[in-house]
């Protein structure tokens, strides 16, 4: 397989995934809330539902892949929303960069959800505070949440390339706090109300 053909396939795969994500991000998934059984006569209701139940019990590989993709998009959107919804598009993209930088570093989980929810099941060990401080139980701002999901879909499909505005950062904190780990890392940039850091040989060793 030539390099050009491989790249073409990669772009095609990304386009298909992106189209799927964007459809969901713009609300097409709401169609699922309309039961298709509404128009089925009562005497055929049970028979019509039987195949659907069987199919639901045995999801296809494509359905499993789609569910995983949606979960990854949701995790990225949650990180962007809860960490930077008041920071505009630039602030949310910066958070997304940190998530992807962690995935590539080899020192963190290799999936978006793995990075975002790392330590969430352990007291005082969550990497992103919203995963264990109760924020997830509070109502979301509908407009800001929709924007975060849309941006997450565009980032995942490559339609919104991340530009390394954070300088390869893998960590950040709000300007009004000073965590102990900050002294062990190299500060790269301040974006909105967040200061970003990348690892140094010393921090990697520790």
Per-residue pLDDT tens over the stretch 61-70:
888 899 999 9
- Single out the residue of 107, 156, 142, 146 nearest to residue 127, CA to CA: 107
Does residue 7 lie in a domain region?
no
Q: Using only C-alpha atoms, what is the Rg of the chain?
A: 20
Domain extent for 84: 12-26+65-164
Tell me the pLDDT tens digit for each residue of 168-186.
999 999 999 999 999 999 9
pLDDT value, residue 119:
93
pLDDT value, residue 203:
55
Does residue 18 lie in a domain region?
yes
User: What 3-state DSSP class applies to 98?
Assistant: helix
Query: Which tokens sit at 115?
Result: 């990075």
Does residue 203 lie in a domain region?
no
Tell me the pLDDT tens digit for each residue of 14-53.
544 555 555 554 444 433 333 333 333 344 344 444 455 5
Does residue 204 lie in a domain region?
no
Q: How many domains does the chain have?
A: 1
Does residue 184 lie in a domain region?
no
Tell me the pLDDT tens digit for each residue of 115-136.
999 999 887 789 999 999 999 9
pLDDT over threshold 90, residue 59: no
Query: Which tokens sit at 191?
Result: 């974006």
């Amino acid at each position: 397989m030539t390099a050009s053909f491989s790249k073409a396939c990669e772009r095609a795969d990304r386009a298909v995934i992106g189209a799927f994500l964007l459809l969901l991000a713009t609300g097409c998934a709401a169609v699922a809330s309309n039961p298709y059984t509404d128009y089925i006569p009562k005497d055929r209701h049970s028979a019509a539902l039987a195949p659907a139940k069987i199919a639901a019990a045995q999801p296809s590989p494509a359905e499993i892949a789609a569910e995983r993709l949606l979960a990854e998009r949701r995790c990225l959107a949650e990180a962007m929303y809860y960490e930077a919804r008041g920071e505009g598009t630039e602030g949310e993209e910066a958070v997304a960069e940190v998530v992807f930088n962690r995935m590539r570093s080899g020192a963190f989980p290799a999936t978006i959800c793995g990075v975002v929810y790392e330590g969430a099941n352990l007291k005082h060990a969550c990497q992103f505070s919203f995963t264990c401080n109760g924020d997830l139980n509070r109502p979301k701002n509908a407009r800001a949440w929709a924007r975060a999901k849309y941006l997450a879909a565009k980032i995942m499909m490559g339609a919104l390339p991340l530009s390394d505005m954070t300088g390869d950062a893998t960590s950040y904190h709000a300007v009004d706090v000073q965590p102990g780990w900050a002294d062990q890392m190299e500060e790269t940039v301040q974006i909105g109300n967040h200061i970003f850091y990348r690892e140094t040989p010393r921090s990697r060793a520790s």
